[in-house]
Amino acid sequence: MQVTERSFKGKTVVLTAGPTYEPIDPVRFIGNHSTGKMGYALAACFAARGANVQLISGPVSIKAEHQSINVTSVTTADEMYAAVKQLALEADILVYAAAVADYKPKVVADKKIKKSGNELTIELVKNVDIASALGKEKKEGQFSVGFALETHNESANAREKLQKKNLDMIVLNSLNDPGAGFKHDTNKVTIIEKDATTAFELKQKTAVAEDIVNLIWERING
């Protein structure tokens, strides 16, 4: 059977995309270079195949066009976690494609921090790991997919996340691969599962999204 425009009809996909911004003061934040392109490409691909997509998006400059994509816009990791947690119970498929900041400032200044001296120390505290937290509450029959962007020990780190976060598959990309990761329209991924590894060549992110969605469909319907 091939994946068609009705393959995911009746399925609800909860998907995160983009970065999170963790405020330091009213004008500064901790963030990353995620554009949200990979997550939005996945949302479009699922929607084109019949799914109802709940997209929780960090701050990005792109928009979702398909009528079956409902976007919840958030800024911080805490906001993203709250939004995903609210929607997770109704999800058939959970895809954690967002680049969530690992840490946030312990104290957020209510006024702009003025320059003073040659150094500034900001104490950081760990953000909630959204995929890990929701992995502990995963329902029977839910299919969950994580993402891992690595710079070293790529496969070992990804496999550890797969197990610890109770994921069914994890999409690994390495910043060591030219054209992969942030700020590109392309990506090169390896999809790791408990008993399988599937590597793909460098492709446009829209094509990468199709590869990921097709493999999810195969696993769900296998």
Instruction: Give the active site residue among 32, 157, 166, 214.
Output: 32
Measured from the Cβ of residue 63, the count of other Cβ atoms closer than 10 Å reads 9
Distance (Å, whole) CA 134 – CA 129: 9
Check: CB of residue 161 under 8 Å from CB of residue 170. Answer: yes
Classify 132 as helix, strand or coil.
helix
Amino acid at site 79: E
Spatial distance between the Cα atoms of 90 and 203, rounded to a whole number of angstroms: 32
Residue 118 designated active-site: no
SS3 94: strand
Q: Which residues are catalytic?
A: 32
